[in-house]
Amino acid sequence: MTLDDIVAKVTDPYDRQARLYPALLCLLPLLALVALLYAPNASALTGVVTIAVSCGGLFLMTNICREMGKRLEDKLYREWGGKPTTQMLRHRNSVIDSVTKGRYHAFLAAKINAIFPDAEQEKSDPAKADEAYQSGARWLLDHTRPEGGKFDLLFRDNVTYGFRRNALGARPLGIVVAIACVLWVLAKAHVLFGAGGKIVDWSVVGQLSPPAIASLAVSGVMLLVWVLFFTKTSLRTCAFSFAETLLRTCDTL
């Protein structure tokens, strides 16, 4: 069973891109290591992977990745001061101009059959105001399902956000796997714990085989990706972009 076969088994576009891909990125250094260094003897591993996929392994992977992302999401919302859509609907938030925000408030208030607070009411009871904003955002999410490509841009933003959120949640695992693969390759090549009792034998580095170098390169690149790209800052940018795109649907529904 090839990697393409594994990915093809997840037919839902969101599950595949936002949940499965982050899990596979965690395993990428390990998959590269096995393919590059142990390919001739990997038939047993192929059999194990096939059995795992057949027994729900993919479903488990996507659910673990989603769970890690959702746990992180709740924590980040508290750090950011609330959900992005809630923040952008607040009178005291200036990302959306007051005229446009007033139009969004009127539209959502009519849809959820509730009265949105004015600036003074929001200031006196911010928690109650947030409840109204969150209810409006939930209504939007329920009525902007990607059907017939009408909300294709919103769906793509949602997939991107879900991918980054789940990847950031799985980042500790991805870092551990990448580092473990680097150490394994170096130990196998006797760069670590080499002859003469040396913990590190740099003289052996020049003798590394091309497959070993390629495996180290994959692990090194993924380590940089986990550390430098999948960050709270990049996720926050993506989250607020999705929130703004979602709120703009008030003018098209």
* Same domain, yes or no: 122 and 183: no
Q: What pLDDT does 31 receive?
A: 84
* Same domain, yes or no: 77 and 96: no
Q: What pLDDT does 54 receive?
A: 54
* Same domain, yes or no: 183 and 229: yes
* Same domain, yes or no: 104 and 165: no
At 147-171, the pLDDT tens digits run 666 888 899 999 999 999 999 999 9
- pLDDT of 57 > 80? The answer is no
* Same domain, yes or no: 10 and 114: no
* Same domain, yes or no: 64 and 165: yes
* Beta pairing partners, 200: 192
Residue that wins the pLDDT comparison between 44 and 213? 213
> Helices 21-37 and 152-169: crossing angle, nearest 10°?
60
The full length of the chain comes to 253
At 190-216, the pLDDT tens digits run 777 766 666 776 677 778 888 889 999
* Same domain, yes or no: 32 and 74: yes
* Same domain, yes or no: 138 and 90: yes
pTM, two decimal places: 0.86
Q: How far is CA 189 from CA 56, 183, 196, 222, in A?
A: 36, 10, 14, 21
Average pLDDT, the chain: 86
* Same domain, yes or no: 118 and 226: no
* Same domain, yes or no: 63 and 120: no
Name the percent of the chain lying above pLDDT 90.
57
Range of the domain at 70: 3-81+158-235
Q: What are the residue ranges of helices labelled H in the chain?
A: 3-8, 13-14, 21-37, 43-54, 57-80, 84-89, 98-112, 119-124, 126-142, 152-169, 171-188, 210-224, 232-248
Coil vs helix vs strand at 225: helix
- pLDDT of 111 > 90? The answer is yes
* Same domain, yes or no: 176 and 70: yes
Split at pLDDT 50, 70, 90, the class of 233 is very high
**Number of structural domains found in the chain:** 2
* Same domain, yes or no: 167 and 111: no
